[in-house]
Amino acid sequence: MRDPADASRIAVERRRARAAVKNSIARGERDPLSVARFAWDNIDSAEAGLRITEYLGAMPGVGAIKVPRILEAVDISSRKRLGALGRHQRERLTAWLVARGATGKTRPTRGRLIVVAGPTAVGKGTVVARIRDKHPDVRFSVSATTRAPRPGETEGVHYFFVSDDEFDRVVAAHQMLEWAVVHGQNRYGTPRAPIVEALERGDSIILEIDIQGARQVKAAMPEAILVFLLPPSWEELVRRLESRGTEDSAEQARRLETARTELAAQDEFDETIVNDDVDRAAEAVVHLMTNH
């Protein structure tokens, strides 16, 4: 006879597996029809073990009130498990799902949205450039900005350089996932469509934006992984800002002031990476794209 402790462990594992299937339906990661077909082909699977009520209730837009009505419409008992439906019940359920827009296609798992932020001059740009170099397959969001291009910057690669009016129009059309005034001067924003498309396709994408933007992304897409790049020390941060020579001293002072408040925000982030070595920091970010 099987050890009763084993049996209860197996029961717990089965419940957990069924909960994972329900969650993937609820998040839209798995098409309900493909789940049903999988259940019918694999009668011992977690999918097959789902109660029909749990299965229907997990679908986006179907609540506890709708479940009994649906069961009545497809003439299936609420006690049934998905894998145990008869041929006619399967046909009626399939027809109902198709009418509701189910495709039966197995969608790729959604890509990851990685947001890299950190105080000014921490070397975000350098880390991102290193990732571009070493991992040409990694996708980056291209922000829109109202600031003028710097020497060496290319339209559509580093930024979309736009006028104030154009920026206004895109914001008014709700086409920005987030946007912010950075360093009290120019506006920067992340166009929403390319992000949504990449994630839907199953591609991961990196956003290199400021902290206000990172907060907005987390609010809009809680699944985003927020990464905070830290300088090895405050002194090193000051040194990096002064030595890059792209800002005059008034601008440097303004950016250091921003950096002080920005450093205080690190606890809001999911991960912190110390940028003491560019290669190591770059690899740590890339690692998060597949393991988190």
Mapping DSSP onto H, E and C, the string for 131-165 reads: HHHHCCCCEECCEEECCCCCCCCCECCCEEECCHH
The yes or no reply on residue 143 touching ligand 5GP (CB under 6 A) is yes
Query: Side chain identity at 61, as an amino acid letter?
Result: G
Pick the piece of the chain touching ligand 5GP (CB under 6 A) from 175-183, 223-231, 268-276, 277-285.
Answer: 175-183
Pick the piece of the chain touching ligand 5GP (CB under 6 A) from 194-202, 208-216, 232-240, 281-289.
Answer: 208-216
The yes or no reply on residue 188 touching ligand 5GP (CB under 6 A) is yes
The yes or no reply on residue 231 touching ligand 5GP (CB under 6 A) is no
Instruction: Kindly state the smallest distance separating residue 81's Cβ from ligand 5GP, in Å.
Output: 48
With H, G, I as helix, E, B as strand and everything else as coil, classify residue 191.
strand
One residue of 138, 180, 229, 273 binding ligand 5GP per CB under 6 A:
180
**Alpha-carbon gap, residue 287 to 292, rounded angstroms:** 8
CA torsion sign, 281 to 130 to 291 to 118? positive
**Alpha-carbon gap, residue 97 to 95, rounded angstroms:** 5
Nearer to ligand 5GP, 70 or 230 (CB): 230
One residue of 113, 182, 237, 259 binding ligand 5GP per CB under 6 A:
182
Measure the CA angle with vertex 151, ends 153 and 119; round to 5°. Answer: 70
Instruction: Kindly state the smallest distance separating residue 202's Cβ from ligand 5GP, in Å.
Output: 23
One residue of 80, 132, 147, 240 binding ligand 5GP per CB under 6 A:
147
Alpha helices in the chain (DSSP H): 4-26, 32-41, 46-49, 52-58, 66-74, 87-99, 124-134, 164-172, 192-201, 211-220, 234-244, 249-263, 278-290
One residue of 32, 111, 123, 189 binding ligand 5GP per CB under 6 A:
189
Q: Which residues bind ligand 5GP (CB under 6 A)?
A: 120, 124, 143, 147, 178-180, 182, 188-190, 208-210, 212-213
